[in-house]
Amino acid sequence: MKKIFLLVLSIPNFILAQSFVPNAPELDLKSYILIEPNTNTVIAEFNSSELIEPASMTKVMTGYVVADQIQNGLISLNDQALISEKAWKMEGSKMFIEAGKKVSILDLLKGIIIQSGNDASVAIAEYVGGTEDGFVDLMNSYAGALGMNDTYFSNSTGLPDENHLTSARDLANLTAKFINKFPNEYALYKEKSFTYNNIRQLNRNKLIFRDETSDGVKTGHTSTAGYCLIGSAKRGNMRLITVVAGSDSDNERFLSTQRLLEYGFRFYATQKYLDANTEYTTAKVWGGRDDMVSLGVEEDISITLPRISFKDTKLKYNLKNNVQAPIEKGQTIGTLEIISNNEVVLVADLVALNTVEAKGFIGRLWSRFILWVMSLFGIA
């Protein structure tokens, strides 16, 4: 580290200001990851694919399944779930529901999200899946569909089980999909307290009390998993998600999360780089009523980079050879690369922004003849 510092000192100050991006903070964790979900950018990570016990971070998937069932009209927030003896007797964190009584799905969701209630998790699992085991099958089906290849769930609560495993990367991607797909349900994560059965409990995620830009998401702790946390914050147009696992203390997991978030927001930025339906280049068209076709991208494209790197970005176009009419609007004509510091940051399809009709038979024949002649001289 001293050698690197001495080398930096030998560089002129104006170059240092333009090129310096520090490494991510060193954290005493089993694993962690920091991502910008909207651009699918990993900003920092350590052992992010290593298998970990998710503890109560499991409940993000429990909530995801419930939110998807609501969105698909299979259940509603007003549905009333009958509380079983099994749910009532659950150990660990509790919402304090009572066996034999009915509780709304909305209240159970709040009990899961805000109070981390294991009793609420089992109650909602039994309502949605018939049994908790049936619900766990759903959880694993969703995990497979979401590409969570490191993940296997054994229960809806996160209580210890040797087969109940995931990774920081999987949890970050799950959280990103939850936020984007279910904004109404995700909004519950920023509620600071919930009262049920005359018992008021504060949200266990202290991050939302410490940082006004933080809006979730979930704590987790067991003696074997250590202290864990999924955190998220949004500042301007940039959202960051962190997962930290295996911290030694309750306070340290929050400090580690804050340090990662501050690092990401301080040294990185997300910017819209390309506008949809805007011409960025053109291509020669053979055999068409128009000689050229405008090319661009179908959707707005944003990228996340170190703040100092945006000024060094450039575009590279890779076009198909001998583009021939007819061409339909939206047809892929090549690819576009965004390059920063000689590295490809993103590759997107270049599509036709307008239709180009083909010439008549004689016109097309003449274009093919010209192409044939050019090919004889190696210029087509």
Active site residues: 56, 59, 116
Give the β-pairing of 292-296 and 281-284: antiparallel
Residue (of 121, 114, 119) closest to 205 by Cα position:
114
Q: Could you tell me which of 74, 76, 23 has the C-alpha nearest to residue 46?
A: 23
d(CA 24, CA 244): 14
- Token pair, residue 159, equals 């209580």
Quickly list H helices, the chain: 2-9, 13-19, 59-71, 85-88, 105-113, 118-129, 132-145, 168-181, 183-186, 207-210, 250-267, 361-376
Q: Which of 330, 215, 346 is CA-nearest to residue 272?
A: 346
Residues 6 or more apart whose Cβ sits within 8 Å of residue 365: none
- On whether the CB atoms of residues 182 and 64 are closer than 8 A, the answer is yes
Conformation bin of residue 341: beta by default, left when phi > 0, alpha when psi is -120 to 50: left
Extended beta strands in 259-342, E state: 268-274, 281-284, 292-296, 301-306, 313-319, 332-340
Coarse DSSP helix, strand, coil percentages of the chain, rounded to the nearest 5 percent: 35, 30, 35
- Tokens at 291, concatenated: 């000689």
| Contact call for residues 41 and 264 (beta carbons, < 8 A) | no
